[in-house]
Amino acid sequence: MTDRTTQSTRDKVAPEQAMAQLELRRIALVALYDALDGADRQRHAGEHRAARAAAHEALRARATGRDDRSPAEVARAFFGLYFVFPNLGLAGPFFEGDVRPLRETAWLAAYDSIRSGVCPRAEFHARLWEHVCDEDRRARAARLYVRDQALDSVPPSAGPRVVSEHRRRIDAMLTGAECVPALLVTWAIARHPQRHDELATVEVRSKHGLLEQRHMAALMGMRPNTLAQSLHRFRARLGEEMRLLWGIERTVVNDEDDDR
């Protein structure tokens, strides 16, 4: 009996991870059913009852300790933990450090997915992509990227005309290239070192909302390999601009550094 009890205790997980045993649509129904209007609540009432029962059972069987939150609160926390948190790096460059737009995007995506039948993760990624492609947000992120990557650094000997021309070319590249939103998103998300925390568990790894390069490629109508190659070429062009400005000769070592 003790061995079985010990094993059962080891099998317990956080409530949000226990909730991840449900399909994403069911988690969305549990989280946001009460936000639906009367007609939609009536339309999805049976589905919601089944989802809520499944949530109760998952929490009873797998969740650790005592948790006074309702299943709806745990389901909303699931979207915060596994959709918002992995993408937290976007908050600074694109949302001026405000996490609320990410949270609202996750909840709106879950809400819309109930009504549309589209996967909540697909809804979330599409909405997130609209945000990061907004001209003002993209321009702000690009400025931070230039600063972070020292693309605006110039040698002391460079005259005003040379500096102005260099910065004009960098601005034009970051404004016009098709792959730039993906470049900025990849860079921004990578600035959040904990983005992969808890995403590899069996329950979560196919349901989290981390915006990855393969998702961005789909949103751009490209193959993942094509986007990867475009990003590689674009970074090489940026490196070439810096070499020209600083008068650094191209060498095998420099090219290998770019590849890395």
Closest CA to 174 of 210, 148, 212: 148
pLDDT band (50, 70, 90) for residue 65: confident
- How does residue 7 score in pLDDT terms, banded at 50, 70 and 90? very low
Residue 257: is its pLDDT beyond 80? no
DSSP class per residue in 124-165: HHHHHHHHHHSHHHHHHHHHHHHHHTTTT---TT--HHHHHH
Cα separation of the two ends of the chain: 54
Q: What is the mean pLDDT of the chain?
A: 91
Provide the pLDDT for residue 4: 46
Q: What is the pLDDT of residue 145?
A: 97
What confidence category does residue 202 fall into, taking pLDDT thresholds of 50, 70 and 90?
A: confident
Specify the residue for token string 């190659």.
229
Of 148, 173, 145, nearest to 244 by C-alpha is 173
pLDDT score, position 42: 96
Contact criterion met (CB below 8 Å) for 88 and 195: yes
Other CB atoms within 10 Å distance of the CB of residue 251: 10
> What are the tens digits of pLDDT across the range 139-172?
999 999 999 999 999 898 888 998 899 999 999 9
Is the Cα dihedral 234, 218, 91, 259 positive or negative?
negative
Geometric angle at alpha carbon 229, from 145 and 164, rounded to 5°: 35
pLDDT of residue 5 exceeding 60? no
Residue 95 has pLDDT above 70, yes or no: yes
Average pLDDT over residues 196-216: 93
| Mean pLDDT, residues 102-127 | 96
Question: Containing domain of residue 130, as a range?
Answer: 2-259
Structural domains counted in the chain? 1
Q: Residue 58 — very low, low, confident or very high, per pLDDT cuts 50/70/90?
A: very high
**Does residue 52 register a pLDDT over 60?**
yes
Cβ atoms within 10 Å, residue 227:
22
User: What local confidence, expressed as pLDDT, does residue 66 receive?
Assistant: 79
> What is the value of pTM for the model shown?
0.87
63 bridge partner residues: 13
